[in-house]
Structure 1
Amino acid sequence: MNAVTQTNSPIVSAFIAHTPGSAAAYEEARTHFPGGVTHDARYVRPHPLAIARAAGPRKWDVDGNEYVDYAGGHGALILGHAHPAVTAAVAEQLAKGTHYGANHTLETRWAELVKSMVPSAEMLRFTNSGTEATLMALRVARAATGRTKLLRLRGHFHGWHDHMAFGVTGHFDGTPTPGVLEALTENVLLVDPNDEAGLRALMAAHGDEIAVAILEPTGSSYGQVPLRDSFVHLLREETAKHGVVLVFDEVVTGFRVARGGAQEVLGIRPDLTTLAKILAGGLPGGAVVGRRDLLELLDPERAAARGVEKIPHQGTYNANPLSAAAGIATLEILRDTDAIARAHAYAAELRSAMNGVLEELSVPWAVYGSNTGIHIFTNWKKLPITPSSFDPLALGYADLKVPRGTQVVTKLLLAMRTHGVDFSPWPGGPVSAMHGPAERDATVAAFRAALRDLRAEGEIG
């Protein structure tokens, strides 16, 4: 979100007046943290929210303002905030210790749950985050194939390590972002999402040099730029034909699209899958899961038996007992209840209701998404669209990915916050199984009010 600071904007002025405690907290944060934040997505001027507590689908800031929450712990909280079963499991484990520096029974139970739910999970290795999981997946694939190149889709996000730090929100030509070595980028091949001809041509030219292909299987930013199923199937065919390790990055989609993730719905078995977010029930934690023969490269005995050097892997907090406890409690609920289906149904209802508001106010935007995703298309290129019949697959990533710093999006999000709803900055958000009719009605009312505020400022026609 951009640095909107002008006080002649009623939207900005109303937000500042509504959140003085958050403003004061931000001034203090700026003395400690670059940009005053600890995650790029939280940056916004005049200031971000400072949250004091959260429960279920709602949260409260330091000024006591209440929000319907669609940040969702950056997608980690499909059961909402402070779910009683999850917090009880963590509290019980907390009394037993936070870190053993040793194996423990919870990590085994956690692994068994993952393997029972994710179709491709023959073995797994826990990590501390999704970024670490994708880094490990690349290393395993390169060790297994002896190849160097990586195939990525433009706009897809796989964490912030060097191989993934460009071609996401910029540098789509493959040039490095600050601090990334140019020599590293020479081994990264980028292809446009849904470009089947481009994919075939790239694989024909470089397929035997590519170690690994990685993608977000429903499309970048949880389907903000959706992928055609046919494209994902083609990628599976091409990678299998050329001996390329296919990695599904299910850090977001895992246990959200379905119990077994996007791979269950697509009917595709990737070679490796990266997981995080929901995996650890809102606490830090990630994993690489997949083919036994690939992950055995982390096993000292199996690697030696194959005559190869073991891949080293450490991590102080891998399979941390608290994360394991939260993850087990969460996955058991998702396995045994209709929580995922409830979240899907709520998201569909909300998308429809928000599009109804756009039609009512004659705003040429659209709200779209699948599963639990909400994406607000602000039509920054002023395309001729109708909200209720909008087809995001008819557009490319350059149309759907709103450039960072767009004033309309920033003002929309600030206005929504003033009216009691906190969306993620793309703009949109993942919904949880805890959202219900009261949250839907509050969100629709806030959306209508925010659009009227934008119109009053001349930001929309």
Structure 2
Amino acid sequence: MIDGVHMLSNSPIQNKYINQTPSSGAMAEKAGRFFPSAITHDSRHTMPYGIYVESAYGSRKQDMDGNEYVDYFGGHGALMLGHRNAEVEACIQEALAAGTHFGSSHHFEVDWAEAVQKLMPSAERIRFTASGTEATLLAMRLARAFTGRTRIARFRTHFHGWHDHMAFGVSNHFDGSATPGVLPQVAAQVVLLDPDDIDSVAATFEREDDIAAVILEPTGGGGGMSPLAPGFVERLREITKQHAVLLIMDEVVTGFRVHKSGAQGLYGVVPDLSSLAKILAGGLPG
């Protein structure tokens, strides 16, 4: 029995899975001694346990028992060219030969920023960060500093990282109350909006005069699993301009995927700030 994992009783599908993945099961049981729920990322919640991958190539992954899977996840969406792409691996080897952590400025970061700026309409200036969570956190801080306002508006079910301002209203606490560990004073600085009612968004901006910015997943919550209505993003841009509220597009999921210029390129809507991650570094540490 793996700590924190519940088994289904008399399930032929589950029993077959367990029989075919004994090594993954053993590794999951060991992982339960170290990690909460025996996993290192929420997306890996699988009953009775997830597979443990031994290798991957192209669009396929192989687990520790030799079972092969078609990979529709693609490294959290970061590996558009698949696993172990030959051209990408050659570039990695070339970069490794020069060093791994200079602790100084280098031309690679300038070249990288130039490529991003050419593709993303909103990228007038670029700040590299360590994660998507850090990118959205800093975008909101910048919005508050620029506008002199304190509150951030966001949409229910839209995910923007793990920092305190975004830790509720995604899969729970849809009333805006703070999740355990988040200060109520922090939660009070966030305005939760309904993603399916642009008129209520407009009314909120009419009523609230201390909103610095609104942040959204531009294709809808859960990486587009709850899509926005056609014209929603375009109308939101109009409303934010009317009320001098900054628009932050969280393009961690959509950047360089739905369009070479991200969702902003797809919709023809230029936000004031954008956040990128994962695919920005091709699944490698940025």
Measure, in 2, the Cα distance between the counterparts of 1:76 and 1:221.
Answer: 16
Q: 2:35 aligns with which of 33, 36, 53?
A: 33
Q: CA RMSD in A?
A: 1.2
Q: CA deviation at 1:154?
A: 0.6
Q: Which amino acid in structure 2 is aligned with residue 259 of structure 1?
A: K
Show CA shifts across 1:64-106 (max 9, x none): 1100011211111111111111111112111221100000110
Higher helix share: 1
Q: CA deviation at 1:4?
A: 4.5
1:16-95 paired onto structure 2 within 5 Å? 16-95=18-97
Measure, in 1, the Cα distance between the counterparts of 2:13 and 2:35.
Answer: 27
SS in 1 for 2:192: strand
Measure, in 1, the Cα distance between the counterparts of 2:25 and 2:260.
Answer: 40
Measure, in 2, the Cα distance between the counterparts of 1:54 and 1:237.
Answer: 45
Q: Which residue in 1 is equivalent to 2:210?
A: 209
> Which 10-residue stretch deviates more, 38-47 or 217-226?
38-47
Measure, in 2, the Cα distance between the counterparts of 1:120 and 1:229.
Answer: 21
Measure, in 2, the Cα distance between the counterparts of 1:257 and 1:284.
Answer: 23
Measure, in 1, the Cα distance between the counterparts of 2:196 and 2:258.
Answer: 20
Q: Which residue in 1 is equivalent to 2:175?
A: 173
Matched, 1:254 2:235: no
* Bigger Rg, structure 1 or 2: 1
Cα contact 2:21–2:65 (8 A) shared by 1: yes
Show CA shifts across 1:180-229 (max 9, x none): 111111111011112022111101101x2101100001111221111123
Identity %: 55
Cα contact 1:7–1:13 (8 A) shared by 2: no
> In the comparison of the two structures, how many residue pairs are matched?
283
Q: CA deviation at 1:233?
A: 1.5
Show CA shifts across 1:291-344 (max 9, x none): xxxxxxxxxxxxxxxxxxxxxxxxxxxxxxxxxxxxxxxxxxxxxxxxxxxxxx
Measure, in 2, the Cα distance between the counterparts of 1:108 and 1:76.
Answer: 21
Matched, 1:103 2:78: no
Measure, in 2, the Cα distance between the counterparts of 1:36 and 1:43.
Answer: 9
Q: Which amino acid in structure 2 is aligned with residue 97 of structure 1?
A: G
Cα contact 2:5–2:37 (8 A) shared by 1: no
Show CA shifts across 1:369-417 (max 9, x none): xxxxxxxxxxxxxxxxxxxxxxxxxxxxxxxxxxxxxxxxxxxxxxxxx
Cα contact 2:121–2:270 (8 A) shared by 1: yes
Runs of 4+ in structure 1 deviating by more than 2 angstroms, as ranges, are none
1:309-328 paired onto structure 2 within 5 Å? none
Show CA shifts across 1:109-165 (max 9, x none): 000100001111111000111111001100110111111000001100001111111
Measure, in 1, the Cα distance between the counterparts of 2:282 and 2:43.
Answer: 21
Cα contact 1:3–1:46 (8 A) shared by 2: yes
Q: Which residue in 2 is equivalent to 1:189?
A: 191
Q: 2:120 aligns with which of 118, 121, 128?
A: 118
Q: Which amino acid in structure 2 is aligned with residue 242 of structure 1?
A: H
SS in 2 for 1:155: coil
SS in 1 for 2:104: coil
Q: CA deviation at 1:6?
A: 2.4
1:125-204 paired onto structure 2 within 5 Å? 125-204=127-206
Given the two structures, how large is their TM-score scaled by the length of structure 1? 0.60
Q: Which residue in 2 is equivalent to 1:280?
A: 281
Measure, in 2, the Cα distance between the counterparts of 1:66 and 1:250.
Answer: 31
Q: Which amino acid in structure 2 is aligned with residue 35 of structure 1?
A: S
Cα contact 1:129–1:284 (8 A) shared by 2: no
Q: Which amino acid in structure 2 is aligned with residue 273 of structure 1?
A: S
Measure, in 2, the Cα distance between the counterparts of 1:152 and 1:120.
Answer: 20
Measure, in 2, the Cα distance between the counterparts of 1:4 and 1:41.
Answer: 17
Measure, in 2, the Cα distance between the counterparts of 1:162 and 1:82.
Answer: 36
Q: CA deviation at 1:284?
A: 2.9
Measure, in 2, the Cα distance between the counterparts of 1:229 and 1:264.
Answer: 15
Q: Which residue in 1 is equivalent to 2:246?
A: 245
Q: CA deviation at 1:3?
A: 4.5
Q: Which residue in 2 is equivalent to 1:368?
A: none
Given the two structures, how large is their TM-score scaled by the length of structure 2? 0.96
Q: CA deviation at 1:276?
A: 0.7
Q: CA deviation at 1:7?
A: 4.0
Show CA shifts across 1:222-241 (max 9, x none): 21111123221121111111
